[in-house]
């Protein structure tokens, strides 16, 4: 970027959170609106971030034996209709292709909103014997859902994701896979994105269309709203029966396999922004930041400074993603610009530093500044990046804990929902009626029934009957 622009201030978070969010998206150059309603242009910086997320997840999937494939982007209408719940869930929000060139199609095709039906169609043709199982397939692609109201990354008509679709001999194996992949997402969020998550199961009301069980990881954003950050579904053999997918078991009996699917999308970029960002801009987790270390030469035109900065950059290329900002902008402008873009670590190096065989390291997350010997940077930089990660995670966890409330009465629930943004933990009887009433009265949806249950009470917060589950409730993106 040879270009010189003003680093304009962004709207403070407390003033207008939604505007703060879109300011960051635009000014950190993550994405831009396109001429197509609800579709984004993901710009180089945003796409590099997504590539790092993709590569990291992809490595985890492959280590667990998954293989990537590519299914068609179109689903014939009759195929979408094979599983009753699924079509009811998705048909109202798909884009329909009706013409190819100048000809009207005999059958409409929808642009995939998700690909269960395509995978099922394929598995029905391919599976024959128990020797073919398990099938552990994944695909990276974009999907389309005709949303009315859209927001960059959080809700868009087209979005990028991965969708894993697996088939197994037994229910136990499929359930293990469902849970294993939820744990992959949770571990990825915590270890790479520094985002603490609550793991749990969705209520029937919030379940994926066609699933037997949906598991989710829920994260808490700066403004106290929840973000569903990844989901993993157990389908039982429902789709298999609807699509007549059968195989011959070890016992020579013809059987239906058990199925899972699981997905994480570009939505998680919205989660990164709203978990870590501040009034100076984006704050990126080191593991996925396109640039982890930005070297800013000080008094750049003095002899030896730029050379020292470039030499440092070359040395560090083996241990991190590093760049030198050698543009003719002022150091102050550069500091602000790279803070806006969330670069985890800034290294300043000027004539005085060179004389002392040192440089200055400034962390993005807390602006902590240290002097570092030039001799030990290959070991120090990874340590500093780890400290940034740990600091970000600790801060996000502390905030989530501070913003999580427990309630036992509806009055308290409504009062808390109205005045204290965050997660609300409360017991629930398991009835849809109560879930709907909580939505109506307090404006909260059930986020999940966490794996880690707590005994806050023994009766439902809404009806007072015997409680079945402790639930995280919240307002959600």
What does the chain come to in residues? 477
Q: Fill in the per-residue mask, 147 to 166: x = in contact with a copy of itself (CB under 8 A), - = not in contact.
A: -----------x-x------
- Say whether residue 318 binds a copy of itself (CB under 8 A): no
Strands of 125-183 (E only): list them.
135-144, 158-168
- Say whether residue 91 binds a copy of itself (CB under 8 A): yes
Residue selected from 9, 36, 368, 394 as contacting a copy of itself according to rule CB under 8 A = 36
Interatomic CA distance for residues 83 and 70, integer angstroms:
22
* Smaller CB separation from a copy of itself, 97 or 463: 97
Integer angstrom CA distances of residue 390 from 19, 77, 222, 288, 436: 28, 48, 18, 14, 39
- Say whether residue 96 binds a copy of itself (CB under 8 A): yes
- Within 8 A by CB and 6+ apart from 322, the residues are 291, 292, 293, 294, 295, 313, 316
Interatomic CA distance for residues 147 and 160, integer angstroms:
15
Beta bridge partners of 105: none
Beta-strand relationship, 469-474 and 423-428: antiparallel
Q: How far is the CB of 101 from a copy of itself (least distance, A)?
A: 5
Q: Fill in the per-residue mask, 103 to 132: x = in contact with a copy of itself (CB under 8 A), - = not in contact.
A: ------x-x------x--xx--xx--x-xx
- The interface region with a copy of itself, picked from 38-46, 174-182, 202-210, 404-412 by CB under 8 A, is 38-46
* Smaller CB separation from a copy of itself, 35 or 318: 35
Q: How far is the CB of 469 from a copy of itself (least distance, A)?
A: 34
Q: How far is the CB of 395 from a copy of itself (least distance, A)?
A: 31
Q: Fill in the per-residue mask, 195 to 224: x = in contact with a copy of itself (CB under 8 A), - = not in contact.
A: ------------------------------
The CA-based dihedral angle spanning residues 137, 143, 149, 155, taken in that order and rounded to the nearest 10 degrees = 40
User: Read out DSSP for 250-304?
Assistant: TTS-EE--EEEEEEEETHHHHHHHHHH-BTTB----TTT-S-SEEEEESSTTSTT
- The interface region with a copy of itself, picked from 98-106, 225-233, 343-351, 364-372 by CB under 8 A, is 98-106
Interacting residues with a copy of itself (CB under 8 A): 2-4, 32, 34-36, 39-44, 47-48, 50-51, 67-76, 79, 91-102, 109, 111, 118, 121-122, 125-126, 129, 131-132, 137, 141-142, 144, 146, 158, 160
């Amino acid at each position: 970027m040879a270009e010189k622009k003003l680093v304009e201030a962004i709207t403070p978070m407390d003033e207008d959170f939604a505007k703060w969010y879109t300011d960051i998206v635009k000014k950190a150059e993550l994405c831009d609106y396109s001429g197509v309603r609800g579709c984004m242009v993901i710009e180089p910086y945003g796409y590099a971030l997504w590539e790092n997320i993709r590569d990291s997840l992809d490595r985890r999937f492959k280590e667990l034996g998954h293989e990537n494939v590519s299914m068609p982007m179109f689903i014939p209408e009759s195929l979408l209709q094979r599983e009753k719940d699924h079509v009811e869930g998705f048909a109202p929000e798909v884009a329909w292709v009706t013409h190819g060139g100048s000809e009207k199609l005999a059958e409409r095709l929808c642009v995939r909103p998700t690909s269960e039906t395509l995978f099922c169609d394929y598995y029905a043709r391919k599976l024959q014997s128990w020797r073919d199982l398990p099938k552990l397939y994944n695909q990276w692609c974009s999907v389309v859902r005709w949303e009315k109201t859209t927001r960059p990354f959080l809700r868009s008509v087209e979005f990028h994701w991965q969708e894993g679709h697996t088939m197994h001999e037994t229910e136990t194996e499929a359930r293990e896979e469902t849970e294993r992949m939820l744990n992959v997402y949770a571990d990825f969020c915590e270890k790479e994105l520094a985002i603490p998550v609550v793991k749990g199961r969705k209520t029937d009301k919030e379940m994926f269309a066609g699933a037997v069980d949906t598991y989710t990881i829920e994260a808490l954003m700066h403004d106290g709203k929840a973000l569903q950050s990844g989901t993993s579904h157990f389908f039982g053999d429902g789709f298999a029966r609807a699509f007549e997918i059968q195989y011959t078991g070890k016992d020579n009996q013809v059987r239906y396999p058990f199925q899972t699917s699981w997905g994480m999308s570009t939505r998680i970029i919205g989660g990164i922004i709203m978990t870590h960002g501040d009034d100076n801009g984006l704050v990126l987790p080191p593991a996925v930041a396109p640039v982890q270390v930005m070297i800013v030469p000080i008094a750049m035109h003095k002899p030896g400074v730029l050379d020292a900065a470039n030499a440092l950059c070359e040395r560090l290329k083996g241990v991190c993603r590093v760049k030198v900002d050698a543009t003719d902008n002022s150091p102050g402008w550069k500091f602000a610009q790279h803070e806006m873009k969330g670069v985890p670590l800034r290294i300043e190096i000027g004539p005085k530093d060179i004389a002392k065989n040192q440089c200055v390291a400034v962390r993005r997350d807390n602006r902590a500044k240290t002097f570092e010997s030039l001799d030990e940077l290959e070991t120090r930089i990874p340590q500093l990046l780890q400290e940034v990660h740990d600091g970000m995670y600790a801060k996000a966890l502390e905030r989530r804990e501070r913003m999580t409330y427990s309630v036992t009465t509806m009055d308290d629930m409504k009062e808390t929902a109205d005045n204290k943004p965050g997660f609300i933990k409360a017991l629930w009887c398991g009835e849809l009626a109560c879930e709907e009433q909580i939505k109506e009265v307090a404006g909260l949806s059930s986020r999940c029934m966490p794996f880690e249950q707590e005994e806050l009470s023994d009766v439902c917060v809404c009806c007072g009957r015997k409680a079945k589950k402790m639930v995280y409730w919240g307002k959600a993106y």
